Homo-oligomer: A and B are copies of this chain.
């Protein structure tokens, strides 16, 4: 832990760390993806953070929205200059994906909330890579990577988010000038939400309905310059501004954008998948619909990995605080207990450690699946895409939903102090809660997965082969309950049985409605509450299996200490979710009342086994204090000192009496109001 340089460490934390039964550095290396990567990451952190440029003298949340934005732009420019070099060689999504975890940590230390430039690297660049022709890439990519332009990505409109086909912004081709004319005909057609759009971006990728020769070809992506290079003034025909305060991300200058017949050159249409020739002929290049999935799936894979990272931060804060915080005397003659010693606290927190590992490993596995599918697609084979799409949909949905709930669980576990902004838990929650909605709403994504599940079920019925992640469906054909067996493999089998059973129930429910004379789509709608449940069950089964399998693979060469704790964590995940899902297990497996009691006992015993390593397990995530940015979670455990130090920074404490006393309160107290 070379980067923790605190002089005095809280005595309870010292004691906790002395109990560690495994090689901490070995686990950190595993989490980073190798010794070399840990080293790279720490070098990057030293390089970017040791200058102190990331530190705010006044907490960001105290400033006005304008000051916050200006401070974020200032830091974005400093930060970009720092990291520009490490970005210039990136040419593909793979490079971008691999460099992102390293950058994320340093970026987090700079921006407690978010950089207005985030969508530049997060969406603008990946879309150029994914949807431009080589010639277009050659034009735009160097400009973007060298930060000569700052871009963002505008798809969502005031009136449409989920339903892309319903987008109202139009791009109508005018062959006389070889331009597209962009227009937002109604208020509801205004673009809304794009980060960095409000004040920052010079360019914007815009999704609009492509019209040419009087025909609509659906939504296509266009590159649009929106502000003047010299003055930064919105160009004539562009109506752009900030959308106002939000739950989180308040330094992102999310924006709105309207077009008053704004003209762009023909070749600003991103033409990898579809082109419009000079005379206005629309030419589809290969499987347009499917190829654009690429960026979308890429972003979702990244999100699952982000969730693992956010949750690791939250649980690091909560576990360290719980080791320092002492409250109540379980027995009269003993000192107050560390709250980490309460079983209810362990119940709230240890599943968060497990879940972070589960999501990280699932994300890596999904990444491997994704790159394999990309390779297939380059050879013209898109057969594996539907399964990947269904997987990335449900994993995005469940990982963001789990993470939001678990971060809030960490926050609640820190009592009142978790409500302080300086704990950093409120901000972490606001980020995770946003991801549950953006890039595909929870319910909508699960229903998309459910379509795939029901279709697969029907194919199975017709005797067709099942894709790998759905091979378990075959179980549902005999209609019996799965035999309960409490080994890890047995539990995973039972989760597969739950998923199979729930999908079968949905099919039965849809068919019952159809038999009663309803058309299929209405019957589907009436079953959607159950379908969401079925997709959740499928996804949970996938995570359980992948987490277990990948843990075994990853630890094959590990020291016994690390192997043991990672085995415990993956086992905890299986037991936790078994106890959460006793209703489903009772329905779809032979689980008995006695088995439930035994599960509960094993779970409680496992919490106690993990307890001595709890602090070391979160230490292994290896967050520098600057990255964690939490009064409650710092490595040294100086919780109360830091809370007070942070409080003293608020401008309200700069003067003993606020002017509002003389202006408003005194007249009132004296009865003069």
A residues in contact (CB < 8 Å) with B: 59, 61-67, 69-70, 73-74, 76-78, 80-81, 146-150, 156, 158-163, 165-166, 187-188, 190, 192-193, 198-200, 202, 229, 231-234, 241-248, 250, 253, 256, 326-331, 336, 342-344, 347, 408, 412, 415-416, 418-422, 426, 429, 433-434, 436-438, 441-443, 447, 505, 509, 521-522, 525-526, 528-530, 532, 581-587, 593, 596-597, 600, 604, 640-641, 643-644, 646-653, 656-671, 673
Contact = CB atoms under 8 A, between A and B. Distances in A.
Given A246-B421, A412-B436, A664-B77, A657 B344 contact: no
A326 B664 CA distance: 46
Contacts of A641: 187
Nearest to A188: B640
11 contacts: A62-B65, A63-B64, A77-B664, A81-B668, A81-B673, A166-B328, A232-B665, A241-B652, A246-B419, A342-B528, A582-B583
Given A166-B336, A525-B330, A529-B343, A233 B421 contact: no
A593 B163 CA distance: 37
A233 B662 CA distance: 11
A48 to B, nearest CB: 15
A77 to B, nearest CB: 4
Nearest to A429: B247
A644 B233 contact: no
Contacts of A159: 326, 640
Contact of A660 (B73, B436, B657): B73
B244 A646 contact: yes
A609 B416 CA distance: 42
Contacts of A653: 198, 241-242
Contacts of A422: 244-245
B647 A241 contact: yes
A161 B416 contact: yes
B327 A649 contact: no
A202 B666 CA distance: 11
Contact of A241 (B161, B509, B648): B648
Contacts of A671: 146-148
Given A244-B649, A420-B243, A660 B69 contact: yes
Contacts of A438: 416
Contacts of A426: 246-247
Nearest to A607: B529
B64 A651 contact: yes
Contact of A242 (B525, B650, B662): B650
Contacts of A234: 656
A487 to B, nearest CB: 21
B529 A344 contact: yes
A652 B336 CA distance: 50
The 3 closest A-B pairs by CB, nearest first: A583-B583, A61-B245, A247-B426
Contacts of A604: 526, 529
A238 to B, nearest CB: 10
A77 B583 CA distance: 54
Residue from A62, A342, A421, A647 with most neighbouring chain B CB atoms (10 Å)? A647
A402 B218 CA distance: 43
